[in-house]
């Protein structure tokens, strides 16, 4: 039929062949797609560079980047060249084609199919292998930097007399090179063999010789290289014995040589090295002999020798020489392990002394006086009272405190240093009244203020609450003026965009206050390229076009102290607990950081995640380096992160640490000298908990320095389980200002207890001087208990069975409240141990813990009283007023004024009470909480004086309940603010549970 222009043939031809315009459009779209993919990959790199530049640590980024690139190119190229050269050589050595066997005929099809693409196949194969090898090598940037910058330890291992730096810095790099050599040789051998087979150099089923002379020589050389590398491996294995971990009943994670290693494995490795070297020569000799006979025999002898000399002989030595008298044989090696482990974990200077632990029987008044100065008993437990901070000081639902607060030291109004519980009021993005992108990232950007309470006293509003020394919104109190905005914190994980046209909510108190960030941190979003990069990096397209972003806008991210320090110092291991301090008008996060290695010869290894776990890490605080296994650790760096502008500073702390010196050479200018630490910051530095937990775990075995006793394990200890916590886990260490036996003054210390392995009684007590400003900082003292003394678990069990406790718990049942135990503090006292434990109630009318009772135990006595003063009086059998409290030992005694008596005293007390009540009402209306608390204290004291001055006989014991039992219902409700109609707590109604806790606010 004639073509009329509308038949099927014409349109099909046009569809099958796109027009030039269509081809141009498709090509353009393809280019744009490639560019888009490239930009996505580039965005991550670019935003990382911008962030490092914003924190002034761009040298860390560039040093790390160029090291990775260098390793990638060098080892990727080496691997590609090795594979490519061997494939090319195998192809070049192929035999000429002759009569085709069936095997060669089937292979000929493959040869012909790849013949046009041989170069491309070669390039593709070598490029792929090179990329994989280069990527793997780039991950060894830490190993390379430590190798080229290694600083000597100036300490030699006892077996080979080599500096420890060889094992810590050099041996890991040699092992990497060896592993790379093995990989390159094996892959080259496989590639060459396949090529020889494809082109007839190797034959499986064809008649005649199985390999041509050329293929035999080529593959023999590769096998010779492989065996040579095996010889090097045997030689390095000799040194590896010094850092090898093995199972040994004397200690877990045993590291270093044992008798069988030194007397069997070590000579076996030397012999195997010689055999492998000879075997390698035999393989190389096939270039001239053109036969596999001798190399194969040599290789078989090497394998047989490895089985007999490297496996069977050591087993015979262990069975017939070591086991019959293992303790004597292993004693010298156990001693080396003990010495190395104690040095590697910095516990070799721990002072051990025997301590009877038996409570002194005698003058109770003398013991009571000694107890006054033995410690500043911290009845506020930072692991318990966070809900009280939350309820009383949260103020808005979009603020939060950490579950575990921190312990620090601050000077009070009297200028005396005191243990303090502190936490920051951080932003809680989940508590926003309305969630949207603007609120989440522009309006609500920061927390506000530090809240602090005295650790040794309780407040009266309500009774048993924290005694705040810094409180309110904005915070006021004893810290003075400081920048209160918290843009960087432990709970601040989302990004914020600040400083642009969109105003931020500063805080809400008597109206909404707004602000605009002036800190200068973060990355500028003023130009479109940066906005596009962050829109891609954060998968948030609104960053590109939002009108809330404009001139001056900056994006803040990586906002937790741990994230920031890890980023600027990726070679450090970060402590799990950063803590805040108000220093020179700024809130600074203080972060302890460690240098570690797992290459310290003879020192036993430990897994940081396991040894730093305790009853609090389950759901409250982080664990340091979960899977890191190390056998050397130093708290070498103290870092700070400014809570307002995010500025990170790294300070050298351990000036002798060779690992830190090595990293400072690799990253010059990143760590400031120790002398640069200001005194105001030094006053808040402390001994880190995670390091202490690692050291105490090692000391459960390594406090023993006698090899025979260490082997028997007769004096092994264990860290007891926390008896006050329902969560499983060992007891956490406690910060406490206290005196050790023989000391004249209290020291800020970090303390822990030990029990004998498998038994509940007290085995030892340890304290380390935790005050960084002290010349004795880091001094570790252990009291080895030489008699049978109750351990923490036994004390807690006795307390739970105490009649007074049982009655207290029964009384709580009617109030829908629960009992909650605080930290069980252990204090050495006059040859014995004094246990102090605060007891809180939670529930009923208040859903946060209030201190209601204090338990004390000394010797066989255990008491449960209303406050610390009563508890100390009772446990030592001393009569005293219920409000007697231990004085601060740093304060001079003041002359006691004789009390006024009669009508004059009564009138004065009533007048003082009226004035205090008026002052309290005024402070309440003005929402001046510090003044309100002082007024309540004055009111209670005046009412007590009035009751004591009553002329009626016996009236001292007939005080009205409301006079000395502040109303537990009067605590602030909602967001922690008292209602304006609330009456003073001192004259309010007592909750049922408070009858049992009378006077609890008096403890110090």
Q: What is the pLDDT of residues 688-706, one digit of tens each?
A: 999 999 999 999 999 999 9
Phi, psi of 382 (to 5 degrees): -65, -15
Determine the 3-state secondary structure of 869 from DSSP: helix
Decide if pLDDT at 894 tops 70. Answer: no
Q: Other C-beta atoms within 10 Å of 510: how many?
A: 7
Using pLDDT thresholds of 50, 70 and 90, give the confidence band for residue 626.
Answer: low
Q: Which residues contact 671 (CB under 8 A, 6 or more apart)?
A: 569, 637, 650, 651, 652, 660, 663, 664
d(Cα 741, Cα 374) in Å, to the nearest integer? 9
Phi, psi of 539 (to 5 degrees): 50, 45
pTM, whole model, 2 decimals? 0.82
Q: Please classify residue 97 by burial: count the beta carbons closer than 10 Å to its beta carbon, then call 0-12 exposed, 13-18 middle and 19+ buried.
A: exposed
Using pLDDT thresholds of 50, 70 and 90, give the confidence band for residue 512.
Answer: confident
Decide if pLDDT at 241 tops 70. Answer: yes
Contact 977, 930 (CB under 8 A): no
What digits encode the pLDDT tens for the residues 159-169? 999 999 999 99
pLDDT at 762: 94
pLDDT at 311: 86
pLDDT at 902: 52
Nearest to 421 by CA among 823, 932, 938, 889: 823
- What are the tokens at 195? 């090529």
pLDDT at 39: 77
Q: Other C-beta atoms within 10 Å of 347: how many?
A: 18
**How confident is the model over 605-616, as a mean pLDDT?**
84
Decide if pLDDT at 10 tops 80. Answer: no
d(Cα 243, Cα 232) in Å, to the nearest integer? 17
Determine the 3-state secondary structure of 255 from DSSP: strand
Decide if pLDDT at 7 tops 50. Answer: no
pLDDT at 887: 44
- What are the tokens at 815? 């109030």
Contact 486, 426 (CB under 8 A): yes
Beta strand pairing status for 573-574 and 447-448? unpaired
- What are the tokens at 490? 């432990």
d(Cα 336, Cα 158) in Å, to the nearest integer? 7
Is the torsion defined by CA of 684, 687, 691, 696 positive or negative? negative
The full length of the chain comes to 1004
Q: Other C-beta atoms within 10 Å of 961: how many?
A: 12
**How confident is the model over 404-425, as a mean pLDDT?**
89
What digits encode the pLDDT tens for the residues 663-694? 999 999 999 999 999 999 999 999 999 999 99
Q: 888-893: long-range contacts at Cβ-Cβ below 8 A with a sequence spacing of 24 or more?
A: 888/376, 888/416, 888/418, 889/372, 889/373, 889/376, 889/745, 889/746, 890/416, 890/417, 890/746, 891/414, 891/416
Q: Could you give the C-alpha distances from 761 to 720, 796, 797, 800, in angstroms and in order?
A: 10, 12, 12, 17
| Structure-model confidence comparison of residues 399 and 937, the more confident one | 399
pLDDT at 120: 84
- What are the tokens at 438? 């603007």
Contact 733, 823 (CB under 8 A): no
d(Cα 921, Cα 935) in Å, to the nearest integer? 9
Residue with tokens 């509308």: 6
What digits encode the pLDDT tens for the residues 326-342? 899 999 999 999 999 99
Contact 840, 395 (CB under 8 A): no
Decide if pLDDT at 376 tops 60. Answer: yes
Q: Please classify residue 533 by burial: count the beta carbons closer than 10 Å to its beta carbon, then call 0-12 exposed, 13-18 middle and 19+ buried.
A: buried
Which of 196-205, 255-264, 289-298, 351-360: highest mean pLDDT? 255-264
Decide if pLDDT at 827 tops 90. Answer: yes
Using pLDDT thresholds of 50, 70 and 90, give the confidence band for residue 608.
Answer: confident
461's enclosing H/E stretch is none
489's enclosing H/E stretch is none
Q: Which residues contact 680 (CB under 8 A, 6 or more apart)?
A: 583, 584
**How confident is the model over 399-417, as a mean pLDDT?**
88
pLDDT at 969: 36
pLDDT at 262: 94
pLDDT at 1004: 32
| DSSP string covering 923-949 | HHHHT-HHHHHHHHHHHHHHHHHHHHT
pLDDT at 990: 30
Decide if pLDDT at 1003 tops 50. Answer: no
d(Cα 779, Cα 408) in Å, to the nearest integer? 19
Contact 728, 721 (CB under 8 A): yes
Residue with tokens 């109206």: 511
Nearest to 583 by CA among 518, 647, 634, 495: 647
pLDDT at 724: 86
Determine the 3-state secondary structure of 357 from DSSP: strand
pLDDT at 999: 34
pLDDT at 622: 53
Rg (CA), the chain: 37
pLDDT at 3: 39
| Structure-model confidence comparison of residues 957 and 625, the more confident one | 625
Decide if pLDDT at 89 tops 80. Answer: yes
Determine the 3-state secondary structure of 105 from DSSP: helix
What digits encode the pLDDT tens for the residues 14-48? 445 667 777 788 788 888 888 878 878 888 899 99
d(Cα 392, Cα 975) in Å, to the nearest integer? 7
**How confident is the model over 883-903, as a mean pLDDT?**
42
- What are the tokens at 480? 């003075």
**How confident is the model over 566-591, as a mean pLDDT?**
94
d(Cα 528, Cα 548) in Å, to the nearest integer? 14
Decide if pLDDT at 201 tops 90. Answer: no
| Structure-model confidence comparison of residues 970 and 738, the more confident one | 738
Decide if pLDDT at 916 tops 90. Answer: no
Decide if pLDDT at 977 tops 50. Answer: no
pLDDT at 886: 45
pLDDT at 243: 94
Contact 345, 695 (CB under 8 A): yes
pLDDT at 726: 77
User: CA 727, 732, 734 angle in degrees (round to 5)?
Assistant: 140
pLDDT at 903: 63
**How confident is the model over 775-784, as a mean pLDDT?**
95
pLDDT at 989: 27
- What are the tokens at 259? 């008798």
pLDDT at 941: 76
The region of weakest confidence among 29-33, 63-67, 542-546 is: 29-33
Q: Output the average pLDDT for the chain.
A: 84
Percent of the chain with pLDDT over 70: 85
Decide if pLDDT at 1 tops 60. Answer: no
Contact 496, 515 (CB under 8 A): no
pLDDT at 4: 37
What digits encode the pLDDT tens for the residues 900-912? 445 667 777 777 7
pLDDT at 967: 37
Using pLDDT thresholds of 50, 70 and 90, give the confidence band for residue 270.
Answer: very high
Using pLDDT thresholds of 50, 70 and 90, give the confidence band for residue 227.
Answer: very high
Decide if pLDDT at 964 tops 70. Answer: no
Residue with tokens 């209306």: 925
Determine the 3-state secondary structure of 846 from DSSP: strand
**How confident is the model over 647-670, as a mean pLDDT?**
96
pLDDT at 629: 85
**How confident is the model over 113-122, as a mean pLDDT?**
78
pLDDT at 107: 67
**How confident is the model over 842-852, as a mean pLDDT?**
83
d(Cα 946, Cα 953) in Å, to the nearest integer? 14
Q: Could you give the C-alpha distances from 977 to 196, 209, 925, 970, in angstroms and in order?
A: 85, 96, 11, 10
pLDDT at 17: 62
| DSSP string covering 972-987 | -BTTTB--TTPPPGGG
First CA to last CA distance, the chain = 112
pLDDT at 973: 36
Using pLDDT thresholds of 50, 70 and 90, give the confidence band for residue 951.
Answer: low
- What are the tokens at 158? 């006892």
Which of 702-716, 834-848, 912-926: highest mean pLDDT? 702-716
Decide if pLDDT at 883 tops 60. Answer: no
């Amino acid at each position: 039929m004639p073509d009329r222009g509308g038949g099927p043939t014409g349109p099909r031809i046009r569809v099958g062949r796109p027009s030039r315009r269509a081809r141009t459009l498709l090509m353009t779209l393809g280019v744009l797609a490639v560019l888009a993919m490239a930009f996505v990959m580039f965005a991550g790199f670019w935003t990382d560079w911008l962030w490092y530049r914003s924190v002034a640590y761009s040298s860390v980024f560039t040093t790390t980047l160029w090291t990775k690139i260098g390793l990638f190119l060098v080892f990727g190229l080496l691997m590609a060249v090795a594979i490519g050269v061997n494939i090319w050589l195998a192809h070049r050595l192929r035999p000429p084609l002759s009569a085709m066997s069936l095997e060669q005929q089937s292979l000929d099809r493959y040869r012909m199919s790849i013949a046009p693409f041989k170069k491309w196949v070669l390039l593709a194969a070598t490029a792929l292998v090179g990329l994989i090898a280069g990527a793997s090598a780039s991950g060894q940037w830490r190993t390379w930097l430590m190798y080229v910058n290694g600083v000597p330890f100036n300490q030699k291992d006892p077996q080979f007399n080599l500096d420890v730096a060889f094992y810590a810095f050099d041996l890991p790099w040699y092992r990497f090179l060896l592993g790379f050599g093995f990989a390159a040789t094996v892959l080259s051998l496989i590639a060459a063999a396949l090529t020889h087979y494809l082109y007839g150099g190797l034959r499986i089923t064809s008649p005649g010789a199985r390999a041509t002379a050329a293929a035999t020589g080529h593959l023999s050389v590769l096998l010779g290289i492989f065996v040579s590398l095996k010889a090097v491996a045997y030689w390095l294995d000799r040194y590896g014995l010094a850092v090898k971990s093995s199972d040994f009943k004397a200690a877990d994670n045993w590291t270093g040589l044992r008798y069988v290693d030194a007397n069997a494995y070590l000579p076996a490795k030397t012999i195997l090295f010689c055999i492998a070297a000879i075997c390698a020569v035999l393989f190389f000799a096939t270039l001239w002999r053109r036969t596999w006979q001798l190399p194969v025999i040599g290789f078989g002898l090497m394998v047989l020798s490895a089985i007999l000399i490297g496996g069977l002989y050591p087993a015979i030595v262990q069975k017939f020489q070591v086991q019959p008298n293992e303790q004597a044989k292993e004693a010298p090696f156990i001693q080396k392990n003990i010495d190395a482990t104690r040095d590697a974990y910095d516990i070799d200077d721990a002072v051990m002394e025997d301590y009877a632990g038996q409570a002194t029987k005698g003058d109770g008044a003398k013991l009571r006086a000694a107890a006054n100065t033995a410690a500043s008993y911290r009845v506020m437990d930072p692991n318990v009272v966070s809900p009280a901070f939350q309820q009383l000081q949260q103020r808005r639902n979009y603020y939060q405190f950490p579950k575990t607060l921190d312990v620090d030291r601050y000077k009070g109004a009297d200028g005396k240093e005191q243990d303090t519980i502190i936490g920051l009021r951080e932003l809680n993005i989940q508590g926003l009244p309305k969630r949207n992108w603007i609120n989440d990232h522009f309006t609500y950007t920061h927390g506000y203020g530090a809240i602090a309470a005295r650790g040794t006293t309780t407040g009266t509003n309500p009774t048993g609450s924290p005694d705040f020394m810094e409180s309110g919104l904005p915070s006021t109190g004893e810290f003075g003026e400081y920048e209160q905005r918290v843009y960087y914190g432990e709970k601040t994980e989302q990004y914020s965009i600040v400083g642009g046209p969109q105003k931020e909510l500063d805080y809400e108190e008597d109206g909404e206050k707004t602000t605009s960030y002036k800190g200068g941190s973060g990355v500028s979003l003023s130009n479109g390229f940066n906005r596009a990069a962050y829109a891609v990096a954060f998968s948030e397209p609104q960053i590109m076009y939002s009108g809330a972003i404009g001139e001056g806008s900056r994006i803040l991210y990586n906002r937790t102290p741990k994230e920031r320090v890890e980023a600027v110092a990726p070679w450090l291991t970060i402590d799990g607990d950063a803590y805040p301090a108000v220093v020179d008008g700024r809130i600074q996060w203080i972060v302890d950081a460690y240098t570690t290695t797992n290459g310290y010869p003879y020192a036993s290894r430990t897994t940081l995640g396991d040894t730093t776990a305790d009853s609090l890490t389950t759901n409250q605080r982080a664990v340091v380096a979960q899977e890191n296994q190390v056998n050397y650790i130093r708290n070498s760096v103290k870092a700070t992160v400014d809570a307002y502008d995010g500025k990170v500073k790294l300070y050298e702390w351990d000036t002798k640490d060779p690992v830190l010196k090595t990293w400072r050479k690799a990253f010059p200018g990143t760590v400031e000298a120790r002398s640069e630490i200001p005194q105001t910051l030094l006053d808040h530095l402390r001994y880190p908990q995670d390091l202490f937990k690692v050291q105490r775990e090692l000391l459960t075995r390594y406090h023993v320095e006698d090899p025979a006793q260490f082997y028997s394990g007769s004096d092994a200890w264990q860290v007891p389980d926390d008896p006050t916590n329902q969560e499983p886990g060992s007891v956490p260490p406690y910060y406490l200002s206290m005196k050790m036996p023989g000391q004249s003054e209290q020291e800020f210390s970090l303390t822990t207890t030990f029990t004998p392995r498998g038994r509940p009684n007290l085995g030892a007590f340890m304290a380390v001087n935790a005050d960084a400003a002290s010349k004795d900082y880091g001094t570790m003292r252990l009291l080895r208990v030489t008699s049978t003394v109750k351990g923490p678990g036994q004390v807690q069990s006795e307390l739970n069975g105490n009649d007074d406790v049982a009655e207290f718990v029964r009384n709580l049942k009617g109030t829908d409240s629960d009992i909650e135990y605080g930290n069980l503090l252990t204090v050495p006292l006059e040859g014995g141990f004094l246990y102090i434990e605060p007891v809180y109630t939670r529930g009923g009318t208040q859903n946060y813990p209030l201190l209601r009772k204090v338990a004390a135990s000394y010797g066989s006595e255990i008491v449960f009283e209303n406050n610390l003063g009563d508890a100390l009086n009772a446990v030592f059998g001393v009569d005293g007023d219920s409000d007697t409290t231990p004085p601060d030992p740093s304060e001079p005694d003041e002359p006691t004024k004789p009390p006024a008596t009669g009508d004059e005293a009564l009138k004065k007390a009533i007048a003082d009470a009226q004035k205090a009540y008026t002052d309290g009402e005024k402070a309440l209306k003005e929402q001046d909480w510090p003044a309100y608390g002082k007024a309540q204290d004055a009111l209670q004291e005046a009412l007590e004086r009035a009751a004591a001055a009553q002329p009626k006989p016996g009236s001292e014991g007939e005080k009205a309940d409301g006079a000395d039992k502040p109303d537990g219902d009067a605590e602030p409700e909602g967001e922690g603010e008292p209602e304006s109609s609330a009456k003073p707590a001192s004259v309010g109604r007592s909750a049922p549970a408070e009858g049992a806790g009378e006077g609890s606010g008096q403890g110090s």
